[in-house]
Amino acid sequence: MRKFTKPDLPREHERRFWQGVRAGLSVDEAAASAGASWSWGRRIFVRLGGVNPTRTTDPLGQRYLRFEEREEIMRLQASGLSVRAIAREIGRHPSTVSRELKRAVGVRGYRAGMAQTHADRGRRGPRNAKLATNLRLRREVQARLERHDSPEQIAGRLKIDFPDEPEMWVSAETIYQSLYIQARGGLKRELTAYLRTSRSMRKPRRTPGHRRTRIPDMVMISERPPEIEDRAVPGHWEGDLIMGSTASGSAVGTLVERTTGFVMLLHLPDGYGTLAVQAALVAKMLTLDEQLRRSLTWDQGLEMASHREIAAATGLDIYFCDPRSPWQRGTNENTNGLLRQYLPKGKDLSFYGPGMLDNIAAELNARPRKRHRFRTPAEMLDEILAKTTDNHGVA
């Protein structure tokens, strides 16, 4: 019987994972921020000895398609655009798009994940480490490690002991990578016992007593303009996730407009990792007129790690609440309480497809609200859009 093997995750996931580790996230948190499972993250971390390999974190040159571009190609092709139209949209040559569409076609047509996997496999891997090919240097480094010299001390001393033999020089980082990344060849991991820490796996570096920001470049709610607080101007949203049962790992994204109370729900069939939430949030927001896309306030969940990409795609100003302060998204919290009538706790929320979620949102948007003198959120939103259209007509 033919053995089934799961396809590799695109290298973009690995790059995001190591960026999260470097930012101070735990292995499980970094995996979630990369849109992958905790088991995948632990497997990658153990296989590479806790070392952040340069090849997965350095962005590719401009000549290579990025994973985001492949996702855009998939979306545009599904919308019926031609190769030349897709090329104009993403700023690439038509032949690049044509070759890409021919390269990774599955049963369901072109798939961005499959295309990225093919590209990662085809790209030349890292060269063998210097310690794997230079036997004399490897023996010298091994002897000094067994003498309990640190990699930094070894690297510095080799230049003194072999001043005219550059082939006998090696950096401390190369020694660490040869110890911890066994795929690079060279030193055996057992030699880590001679290091001062004796760790068999490398730990991410942190400044003592300093907790690094979980999500880079967050703009906090304290910097949010006053007009958002008084609800005078529409187009300001609050968002969060409603979680399903722990076993299912499912969730539904919720968005509530502060002025009208209008609700939109995000279908997340592939989990609530960073990329999944980004794609669903951008797609939903782009269904709105531009004047209804002013800002979004969210908590500090890792699903919003790509907030910069979301802001660039939608035009939203994105703000983050303080830790453990759900009242700072009061409209969203109240709405989530109403939604639990339809999306019960402890249930597998992946059961609810996009049509079902749209129906739930429509029912909430048709409920009269006391604060609107018993008009509905849908009526309030229609009124705002009508005024906007009239103003444009006058202009």
Residue 2 has pLDDT above 50, yes or no: no
Residue with tokens 């003592």: 208
**Coil, strand, or helix at residue 106?**
strand
Residue 204 has pLDDT above 60, yes or no: no
pLDDT at 246 over 90: no
282 and 384 in a single domain? The answer is: yes
Question: End of a domain among 122, 149, 168?
Answer: 122
Quick one: DSSP state of residue 75? H
Query: How far apart, in whole angstroms, are the C-alpha atoms of residue 265 and residue 335?
Result: 11
Asked whether residue 290 is assigned to any structural domain, the reply reads: yes
Structural domain contains residue 199? no
Select from 283, 287, 305, 307 the least CA-distant residue to 295.
307
- Nearest CA among 207, 210, 225 for reference residue 317: 225
Q: Which helix (H) or strand (E) holds 152?
A: helix 151-161
Note whether residue 95 is domain-resident: yes
Highest mean pLDDT among 53-62, 169-178, 278-287: 278-287
CA distance 340 to 325: 20
Residue with tokens 């919290």: 333
Kindly state the DSSP code that residue 222 receives in the 8-state scheme. G
Please say which residue of 94, 122, 150 terminates a domain: 122
The β-bridge relationship of strands 236-243 and 251-257 is antiparallel
Statement to judge: residues 157 and 227 lie in one domain: no
Task: Convert the pLDDT of each residue in 72-116 to its tens digit.
Answer: 888 888 888 888 888 888 888 888 888 888 776 666 678 777 777
**Which residue, among 248, 246, 242, 245, has the nearest Cα to 277 in the 3D structure?**
242
Q: Centre a 10 Å sphere on the Cβ of residue 175 and count the other Cβ atoms it contains.
A: 25
pLDDT in tens, 289-318: 998 999 999 999 889 999 999 999 999 999
Q: Are residues 188 and 96 in the same domain?
A: no
303 and 233 in a common domain: yes
d(CA 113, CA 105): 11
Q: What distance in Å separates the CA atoms of residue 187 and residue 325, rounded to the nearest whole number?
A: 49
* C-alpha gyration radius of the chain: 26
Q: Are residues 302 and 374 in the same domain?
A: yes
| pLDDT one-digit tens code per residue, 25-54 | 777 887 887 777 878 877 777 766 666 655
Average pLDDT over residues 163-172: 89
d(C-alpha 25, C-alpha 179), whole Å? 23
Q: Which residues contact 180 (CB under 8 A, 6 or more apart)?
A: 48, 49, 50, 51, 189, 192, 201, 202
Q: Determine the Cα–Cα distance for residues 296 and 239; give it in Å rounded to an integer.
A: 7
pTM for this prediction: 0.49
Question: Is the domain of 275 the same as that of 326?
Answer: yes
The answer as to whether 370 is a domain residue is yes
Quote the CA–CA distance of 123 and 120 in Å, as a whole number. 5
Which tokens in the block code for residue 266? Answer: 């995000």
User: Quick one: pLDDT band at residue 207, thresholds 50, 70, 90?
Assistant: very low
pLDDT of 199 over the 70 cut? no
**Three-state SS for 150?**
coil
- Taking residues 242-248, what's their average pLDDT? 86
Structure tokens at 41: 């993250």
Higher pLDDT, 134 or 10: 134
> Do 285 and 385 share a domain, yes or no?
yes
pLDDT band (50, 70, 90) for residue 365:
very high
Residue 362's domain is classified under what CATH number?
3.30.420.10
User: Is 201 a domain residue?
Assistant: no
Looking at the domain assignment, is residue 169 inside a domain?
yes
CB 186, CB 160: distance < 8 Å: no
Residues 78 and 30 in one domain: no
- In 3-state terms, what secondary structure has residue 268? coil
In a domain, residue 225? The reply is yes
Q: How far is CA 373 from the centre of its chain?
A: 42
189 and 293 in a single domain? The answer is: no
> Per residue in 187-209, is it b (16+ CB within 10 Å) or e — as a string?
beeebbebbeeeeeebebeeeee
Same domain, 117 and 137: no
Question: How far, CA to CA in Å, does 195 sit from each of 155, 210, 313?
Answer: 14, 25, 47
Residues 48 and 190 in one domain: no
Q: Which domain holds residue 86?
A: 67-122
Minimal CA–CA distance to 273: which of 28, 19, 8, 1? 28
Residue 76 maps to a domain: yes
* β partners of residue 237: 257, 296
Does 236 share its domain with 372? Answer: yes
pLDDT tens-digit readout, 305-363: 999 999 999 999 999 998 878 889 999 999 999 999 999 988 899 999 999 999 999 99
Domain count, the chain: 4
